[in-house]
Amino acid sequence: MRRGVRIAADCGVCPEVEESIYHVLVECLRAVRIWRCAGISYDPGQRWSSIAEFICFLETPGAGPGMDERGTRIAYLAYHSWLDRNVRVFEGRSSPPEVVVAGAFLHAEEFLSTAVRSPSGLARDIWGTPSALVAPSYVFVSWVPLPPSFLKVNFDGSMAADGRGGGVGFVIRDHDARLVALGGQRIFDASVVCAELRAAWEGISYARWTLGAD
């Protein structure tokens, strides 16, 4: 690979098991420990058709902690489980399951508190903008499998406030959500729009010219 790094296809926790998003969030021994630490138990050998179905199962009464807004907390647990995986893979660090759960619940509580304190529909956006509309319901968004032989390219670009330096990056996965390639580089003296376009160009070019995609 000219840019970026290669990552082993196997799970770094479960020996000789191929990693996928489903495995990371449901089957992996690390995920099971995190869910159990949050008071959620399930049979990791049971097979759900999708992550969304698994989340719906956890949201049913009696399957998880007895708290209001169960779905929001469970969604943040899944999100922080994935962040935990990224830290382990890319930085070689691992936190106790209790720390992962505490971070997820803290994040969920901050989100929920904005809606509770703002009955008018306006709430502080915890990601930085002055205000945002509170959605009337929570919607779970998940990976939609691609047709066989297809690749998905995710990309992003950003610039510093002065516009003098920034970076672009991309991640390529196959129809089973398995990581195929990733890469990135620094850029200089460009606008945010140019950074986004450069990131898209880098990802698509790599998919076409290096991986042979049409």
Asked whether the beta carbons of 22 and 46 are under 8 A apart, the reply is no
* 82 shares its domain with 172: no
pTM higher than 0.85 for the full model? Answer: no
From 107, 133, 159, give the residue that closes a domain: 133
Number of residues that make up the chain: 214
Give domain status of residue 72, yes or no.
yes
At 202 the pLDDT is: 93
* 27 shares its domain with 93: yes
At 153 the pLDDT is: 93
Give domain status of residue 189, yes or no.
yes
Residue 54 neighbours by CB under 8 Å, 6+ apart? 25, 26, 48
Write the pLDDT tens digit of every residue in 1-11: 333 456 677 88
Full domain range(s) for residue 50: 21-133
**Tokens of residue 89, six digits:** 């893979």
Q: pLDDT tier at 123 (50, 70, 90 boundaries)?
A: very low
Number of domains comprising the chain: 2
Percent of the chain surpassing pLDDT 70: 77
**Tokens of residue 176, six digits:** 């089973």
Give domain status of residue 113, yes or no.
yes
Q: What are φ and ψ of residue 154, in 5° steps?
A: -105, 140
Give domain status of residue 144, yes or no.
no
Q: Which residue has the tokens 């008071």?
A: 39
* 112 shares its domain with 66: yes
Least confident of 36-40, 65-69, 149-153, 184-188: 65-69
At 144 the pLDDT is: 66
Write the pLDDT tens digit of every residue in 69-119: 777 788 888 889 988 988 888 778 888 999 999 988 888 887 777 654 444
* 27 shares its domain with 128: yes
* 105 shares its domain with 28: yes
Q: What angle do CA 29, 99, 38 make, to 5 degrees?
A: 60
